[in-house]
Amino acid sequence: MESLKIEDILVSKLIMGTDKIDTIGTDKDVFALYDGYINKGGNCFDTARMYVNGQSEEVLGRYLKSRRNRDDVIISTKGGFPHLNDKTRSRLSKDEIFSDCDASLKALQIDKIDLYWLHRDDESIDVGEIIEPLNELIKLGKVDKIGASNWSTQRIEQANNYAKSHGLKGFSASQIQWSAAVSDEVRYNDYGLKIMHKSQYDWYLKSNMPIFAFAPIANGFFNKLSSVGANGMSDKLKARFLCDENLRRAHILSDICHGKNCSVTNAALAYLIFNKLPTAAITGAKTMAYLNDAFDTFNFNFDQFDFEI
């Protein structure tokens, strides 16, 4: 299947997201889904210290131990999420970064994290104070590569310039909310979260930085629009994505679906997977039916021209 190159590793362009695994069922149910993902050709699991109060990492750790397949998969996890009772208070001190990383290693039952991301930024902290401890983790052998999750392009550039000028490793990739649907940080209403905009897209295109796109099908917006209409959507989904521009984009995706006889999910994922930017999409599929639909995207002859929307 298609791969995303991040320095010396190849990540499958469909990544298994592990948030909200408590909605799937028992370990047996989760393991079956993860087996299905790997059997389809996927090789990367994306999790975070704060997902389901640490349970997502713990379940993934039990899965890796049960299947003895650690060397065959890429583990991507995130630390440094703000205080849950006050998200305006960041947790990006050296001690907090180290503590989160150690807790992730223990929960995952592994010796090294392939891709370690900081879940949020705090622009009041100098980038050097963040890059330095991350590089200590690399030197200690606890982390291979570092990434920025929900960081602005300006801050990523500052951090990588600092790293370069000090002989350190900078961010190898970025996680950002990105889909075929447009939104903005105010409408999305998730503190500290960053969303792809035109100016950021241009920067990523110029820098050629690999991207992990989360919420790649806009929380199911286009599927809901085609199946139940705007009135059948939740208030949260409407607040985030219902606007004239996304209705226009929905028509374009619908035309693509009819032309290729594919699902809305296929068209929406293809917008990212086959984009000019080096991008992988994090799927939140919780059943094999949804996972199979996502992987079907690779069975159609998409190209970038389809997605000039």
pTM value? Answer: 0.97
Residue 130: phi and psi, rounded to 5, are -100, -45
Residue entry with tokens 């606890």: 142
Residue entry with tokens 């990006």: 92
Q: Where are the domains of the chain?
A: 3-298
What's the pLDDT at 153?
A: 98
> Regarding predicted confidence, which is higher, 1 or 45?
45
Tell me: the pLDDT tens digits for 179-195? 999 999 999 999 999 99
| Mean pLDDT computed over 59-70 | 98
What's the pLDDT at 242?
A: 98
Quick one: pLDDT band at residue 199, thresholds 50, 70, 90? Answer: very high
pLDDT at 305 over 80: no
Tell me: the pLDDT tens digits for 216-257? 999 999 999 999 999 999 999 999 999 999 999 999 999 999
Tell me: the pLDDT tens digits for 116-162? 999 999 999 999 999 999 999 999 999 999 999 999 999 999 999 99
CA distance 47 to 30: 14
| Mean pLDDT computed over 45-62 | 97
Tokens of 9: 């590793």
From the list 293, 304, 303, 291, the residue with the least C-alpha distance to 16 is: 291
Quick one: pLDDT band at residue 90, thresholds 50, 70, 90? Answer: very high
| Mean pLDDT computed over 52-69 | 98
Residue type, 22: D
What's the pLDDT at 3?
A: 96
| Mean pLDDT computed over 261-280 | 96
pLDDT at 214 over 90: yes
Mean pLDDT of the chain: 96
What's the pLDDT at 308?
A: 76
Residue percentage of the chain with pLDDT more than 90: 96
CA-based torsion, 279, 284, 288, 290: positive or negative? negative
Residue 260, strand partner residues: none
Active site amino acids: 51
CA distance 94 to 157: 21
CA distance 285 to 20: 10
Quick one: pLDDT band at residue 303, thresholds 50, 70, 90? Answer: confident
Residues 6+ apart with CB under 8 A from 72: 38, 43
pLDDT at 306 over 80: no
What's the pLDDT at 304?
A: 75
Long-range contacts formed by 51-57: CB under 8 A, 24+ apart: 51/18, 51/19, 51/20, 51/21, 52/19, 52/20, 52/21, 52/22, 54/103, 54/107, 55/21, 55/22, 56/18, 56/19, 56/21, 57/18, 57/104, 57/107, 57/108
Residue 251 C-alpha from the chain's centroid:
26
| Mean pLDDT computed over 45-49 | 98
Write down the architecture of domain 3-298 according to CATH.
Alpha-Beta Barrel (3.20)
Tokens of 46: 């994306």
